[in-house]
Amino acid sequence: MRQTIRQKSLPLNREKWRQIVEVAEAYSRQKDAFLVEYAQVKSLKDLGYKRRIRDERVAAGFVSPFGLQARQWKLALEDALWTLERQWEAAIAEVRDRLHRNGGLTPKERDYAFWLLDKFGDRPRDWRKIEAIFRDEDLAGKKTELEPAGRKKVRHGLKRLFRRVLGKRPRVRKAQSFVVDQQMYRVFMVGNRQYVAVMGLSPGKRIVIPLSGIHKRGAICGWFCCRTNRRWKFT
């Protein structure tokens, strides 16, 4: 069982603070750019193929315009795609809840609406069905009994519901965090002090952060900035 640890750094000097803030700002700007790019309805089908999207960018020689190293922009991409997927899943759950309370649908209309919205078993969601709602594409399952005109009516109704519940698309408003994986940091001891060396923007160089305590277990999955006293918290 993985243990989650929340720990603060000691106050950082100006240079280390500057380097950490640079990473947070570059990561946030790159994540925000990905959020804008993949927030379009045409990108919905890509949410189920996050690794493929990453591999296509690698094959195309993508370089972060904000100075992130390759492993860093890959995490920013994954972070952005998961953020968008969580927003869509929350919206789908809200639309389903409203459909349950809607007594104006016929049984066939209800069956078709839930066929468009539901996942089946442990299989990934078929995002093409959600995209079809917005593009008014006439998708139907093998067991769909509703006629084309009725399917069109249902898709239009679902589209209106989604527009009400989706709200604003997610954006990164403050550069106060970034994500690292186990290849991007190293925890070590010097005397009685524990340190973590984390990847910065310069290849081959790590930012060494003194920690306020000692923990023997747990893995870092993210960093969180506290700008008031030049301390960092991580989990």
Q: Is residue 145 part of a domain?
A: yes
Q: Is the per-residue pLDDT at 86 higher than 50?
A: yes
The mean pLDDT of 75-83, rounded to a whole number, is 96
The mean pLDDT of 161-180, rounded to a whole number, is 90
Higher pLDDT, 216 or 89: 89
Q: What span, in angstroms and rounded, lies between the C-alpha atoms of 147 and 131? A: 20
Asked whether residue 108 falls in the same domain as residue 213, the answer is no
How high is the mean pLDDT of the chain? 88
Per residue in 109-158, pLDDT tens? 999 999 999 887 778 889 999 999 999 999 998 889 999 999 999 999 99
Examine the fold and report which residue of 116, 147, 169 is the final residue of a domain before the chain moves on: 169
Only one residue has tokens 């066939």, namely 108
Structurally, the chain folds into a number of domains equal to: 2
Confidence of residue 98 (pLDDT cuts 50, 70, 90): very high
Examine the fold and report which residue of 144, 169, 194 is the final residue of a domain before the chain moves on: 169
Domain ranges, residue 148? 40-169
Q: Is residue 2 part of a domain?
A: no
Q: Is residue 31 part of a domain?
A: no
Q: Is residue 35 part of a domain?
A: no
Q: Is the per-residue pLDDT at 203 higher than 60?
A: yes
Asked whether residue 82 falls in the same domain as residue 156, the answer is yes
Asked whether residue 86 falls in the same domain as residue 146, the answer is yes
Q: Is residue 203 part of a domain?
A: yes
Q: Is the per-residue pLDDT at 219 higher than 60?
A: no
Q: Is residue 30 part of a domain?
A: no
Examine the fold and report which residue of 146, 169, 192 is the final residue of a domain before the chain moves on: 169
Which DSSP letter does residue 206 get? Answer: E
Q: Is residue 215 part of a domain?
A: yes
Q: Is the per-residue pLDDT at 182 higher than 80?
A: yes
The mean pLDDT of 73-99, rounded to a whole number, is 95
Please, are residues 222 and 82 in contact by the beta-carbon 8 Å criterion?
Answer: no
